Every structure is written in structure tokens, then in C-alpha cells.
Structure 1
């Protein structure tokens, strides 16, 4: 199962640019003159939730805790993954203030609502300075038990080896850099994998060997590649997620900016295949350096029923 109809989202209450992540995240921009950032982020979040629900996606909302001072709590996919075999994974995070996003009350609620067979906590790797930030670092092809990851300070092969041993997902590693030759901090800003498409910025993979290995793996797994440019990647065209509605029909979730960045033929490929759920989340993309995909924690767990 590559797609799900259920996601968890964290409604931000104290969103702002995170100074602790700025050094490694070149997608972050300065927001000193943007006015009431928190109110704008809440408005953008609510509009995106409405678009997802209009596309028949189940959205479970968790409130951020302002006392925790977690400006990036709106991106829960970086610390949490919920797999179809009943595995709940919590991941090691680079920024100190992002580690506070791992909340036991959220995990407890998930266990009440869904069937969890095992919990894997990888956060101890933080003590060794080794990180792997969930489905920001790892793009998962569930059908083929593959993961794709670009090397950065936030994505450690050492933790990747542990992830592979515990889950069985083989990781394809490669180096990816932006137009200024800075390491791309999270794989999900340059690659998205759905049932049919792999949306990727091949321009960012400078090594011919890495690029050919990546292309071969995507083609071998049956994906049609939609190759985007640096400019499109910078507009979060790869930071998109294929979901499915409650009838199993495909839905692509992305920001309005990302959709507008696609060319006409690319838009036709996607729109002919899937319904769209578009969120005007520019404020979150600009200051958070992450977009519509990062805001979604996919739930592949089995739902608990009242009579169970």
C-alpha cells in the first residue's frame, strides 16, 4: 500500500522561522516584515485542512503546545512514521527545539485510535550526533520496500542502517545539492514517490553515477518520472504527497505555489490521474523551509473500532 486516506496534522500556535534549523535549511527565508506570522500560519493551515477534507481525506488534528516553544511542530512527519505492519517509529532530530515535538500524548492517542504492534524509538542516536528525520529524510516506496535518501547533516547512513535492519526497507543513498551547491537538507524537497509518478529534481543530483542509479531504481519500480528544474523545486514542486480518498481514488496534496510551478504538460499528467488538494501555505513554506508534504504524517495503521 503506497497511499493512505488518513493523515495527522499539528495545528501551529507559535509558528515562526526556526533559528536552530536555518543553517542547514536553505529553503528558509527571513520573515521580519511579514506582520502577524502566527495568525497567517493558522489561516494557511486551516485552508489546507479544508482542501484535504474536501478531497475526502481523513484529517486528524492535534494542537501544538505553545509552552513547548516548537516553531516547526507543524511538520510532524519528521519525527513520526506509522507503517502498515503496525510499527510506530520516532526519529532522531538535529535541532534541539525540534526534539521537543516528540510528544508522548500524541503517541498515546495514536495507540488508542489505531492498532500499534511495536514502537521503535531511534532518538537515542541524537547522543552520537546522528539523525534521520522521518519521511523528510526518507522517501518510502512501500510496495517495493525501498527508501530514498539524500545525504545531509540531518540524514545519517548510520541511523539508516538501523532503520533498514528493523524495518526491511533498503535505502538508496545519493548526494543532492541546490543551485548554490549546498546540500539539500531533506529528501522530500527534491523527490516524491506515489503509485504512478516519481516527481524529482534530477538537476540536483550532480554525480552521474548517483543520478543513473536513482533513475534506474525509479524505472525498475515502475514509476513514471516527472523531472523538475531547480526553479520548480524551489517552489516546492517535489514537496507533494499522493494520498487516496476513502474510495481509494488518488489525491495529490501540495501547495498552491507548487501546483503553479509545474509546466502545462506536467499539470495535465497529474490532473488526469488524480484529484488535487491545494493549500495556500506560502507563509509556512517561506519561514519553515518545508511545505505541504511536510505537514502530513501519513497513517497506514489499522483503525481501532469501538467494539474491539
Structure 2
């Protein structure tokens, strides 16, 4: 299965622009309001987003963040944990020190209480001691059906760690570098999932970010040989988070593509019509979260593929 009906989301209590991630997340910007107001706005956006998902029958497991320790980016759980259909959980090494505090044992307990079966955990977090990072399904895009993993290398996506992940989970690695223009320089995009989305029948991808022609050709080859229609977005659309989307299942196994309103409003009619051939679109305004957090709808959802015990 490429798509799941169950999503884990963390409701923030201290959301703000994380100064530790801003050094290489060029999507983050300042808002000229107090942190308490930023968090209140983020909570409003979060709650509206959860309601939009639940209204379509998506099973959203909402866990409240805790005030201590300080975790301004806890709203993006997909970077520190991944859940797999064989009952395995992956735990990932995080670039920002304050993001490492997001890892919570009790979240596994909450999922087990809800009837999900966790057999074992593969823990990569010791790589932090060597200053090596691989930030979950932010860094890694999984084609779970064709057992391929796509990764744009950056400070937050170490190639050796990615290859180790692929060996452990039995995925074929597809490695490339994706860049964006920052003050006239081409610099690595911090996470693969802001420039690329993988759905069952299509991929939304900013091919313009893959400067190396051979690498670009290779990525397209893999997508096409697996029968995926390639929906190319521009760098401008990517900056509206049009690459940061996730396909989910709603009521009666209906397919939905989830994105922010900014992402939706950046799409062309032609792009929307390709998506709507197989997926209804759910979009919600995430303006505060996107501006301060530098992440969007996809980053907020950790997919739960774990088997049910009952």
C-alpha cells in the first residue's frame, strides 16, 4: 500500500520560527508578531486542518505537545519517526539540537493503545554524535509499492545513512541533489519532500531544482517506469509549498491529495485536472506555519502504516 488512512499529528504549544533550523531552511521567514500570538495562530491553522481531514474520513491521531522541553518544530513529526506495514518504526537523527527533544516514547504507547502493532524499532539517532543526519520522510520519499526511496542530499540527508536505511528496509535508493537559489547562489534544499510528492499514480516534482541533467533524467526514468505521471512544478510554485503534498485515504478508501491553500492556489488548471483524475484535493490555510516553520501540510503528517492487532 502506498497510501494510508491513519495520520499522526502533533498539536503545538510553543510553535515559533526555530532559529536552529533557519540556518539551512531557506523557506523560513520572520513574522513581526509575538511568539505567543504565532503559536495561537498556528494552533488555529492546525485545528482547522485536522477538521478538514476528519471531515473526509481520514483517521487523525492528534497528540498534544508538551510545554517542556522546548520544541518549536514539534508540529512536523514526520522528520523524527516513520511507521511501516511490517510493524517496524524508524527513529531518525535530527540536525537541530532542539528538534531531538521531539522524540517521545509515549507516542508509541498511544499508538499501541489504539490497536497498532509495533514489532521493533530501527534507531539511527546515534549518528547525531557524528554530526550525520537523515530526517525521516522529510529527507526520504518512499515508493512503498515499488520499493524505491528517493532522497535529495543535503546537510539533513546524509548519503551513507540513506543507503543504510535502504538496506535495512529493502528499498532501492534513488539519490540526487536538489538546489534552490538563495541570494544568487544555488544551495541544497533542506528536505526532499518540499520539492517532491509521490502518490500512487503521479508525482508532483520540481525538476528545475535538480541541476545535474543526468540525475534529473534518472529520477524521471524511475518515476515513469513505475507508471507515475510526472507533474512538473516551477521553483515559484515550490516556494508556495506545491511540492509538499501527501496522498491519503478517506472514507470508503477514497483517495485525497492534501496540501496547503497556498500550494493549491499556486497550481495551474492543467495540474489540478491531472491530480483530480485520481484524487480529490483537500487544502487548508497554513500561512503562519509555513512562514515561521518553513514546512507545510506534508511535514505535519506522519503516516501510520503499522498493522492493527485486532
Is 1:213 the counterpart of 2:218? The answer is yes
Matches within 5 A, 1:1-308: 1-33=1-33, 36-113=37-114, 114-180=116-182, 181-305=186-310
TM-score (norm 1): 0.97
- Deviation (angstroms), 1:161: 2.0
- CA 1:74–1:144: 2 relative to 1, 3 Å: same
Give secondary structure in 2 for the equivalent of 1:19.
Answer: coil
- Deviation (angstroms), 1:34: 6.7
Give secondary structure in 2 for the equivalent of 1:214.
Answer: helix
Count of residues in Structure 1 that have an aligned counterpart in Structure 2:
305
- Deviation (angstroms), 1:111: 2.9
Instruction: Summarize deviations over 1:211-256 as a string: whole Å, max 9, x none.
Output: 0011101101110000000100000001000011142211111101
* Counterpart Cα distance in 1 of 2:66 and 2:17: 17
- Deviation (angstroms), 1:70: 0.2
* Counterpart Cα distance in 1 of 2:29 and 2:272: 27
- Deviation (angstroms), 1:271: 2.4
| CA contact 1:55–1:276 (8 Å) conserved in 2 | no
- Deviation (angstroms), 1:71: 0.3
Aligned-residue CA RMSD (Å): 1.1
| CA contact 2:286–2:296 (8 Å) conserved in 1 | yes
* Counterpart Cα distance in 1 of 2:173 and 2:113: 31
* Counterpart Cα distance in 2 of 1:274 and 1:202: 22
| CA contact 1:179–1:230 (8 Å) conserved in 2 | no
Instruction: Summarize deviations over 1:83-127 as a string: whole Å, max 9, x none.
Output: 111111111101000000000111222233311121111101111
* Counterpart Cα distance in 1 of 2:237 and 2:208: 11
Give secondary structure in 2 for the equivalent of 1:8.
Answer: strand
- Deviation (angstroms), 1:268: 1.5
Instruction: Summarize deviations over 1:188-226 as a string: whole Å, max 9, x none.
Output: 000000001100000000000110011101101110000
* Counterpart Cα distance in 2 of 1:40 and 1:34: 11
Give secondary structure in 1 for the equivalent of 2:188.
Answer: coil
| CA contact 1:77–1:136 (8 Å) conserved in 2 | yes
- Deviation (angstroms), 1:275: 1.7
| CA contact 2:149–2:166 (8 Å) conserved in 1 | no
Give secondary structure in 1 for the equivalent of 2:291.
Answer: helix
| CA contact 2:9–2:300 (8 Å) conserved in 1 | yes
More moved, 27-36 vs 203-212: 27-36
Give secondary structure in 2 for the equivalent of 1:92.
Answer: coil
Give secondary structure in 1 for the equivalent of 2:57.
Answer: coil
| CA contact 2:138–2:299 (8 Å) conserved in 1 | yes
| CA contact 1:8–1:61 (8 Å) conserved in 2 | yes
Unmatched runs of 5 consecutive residues or more in structure 1 = none
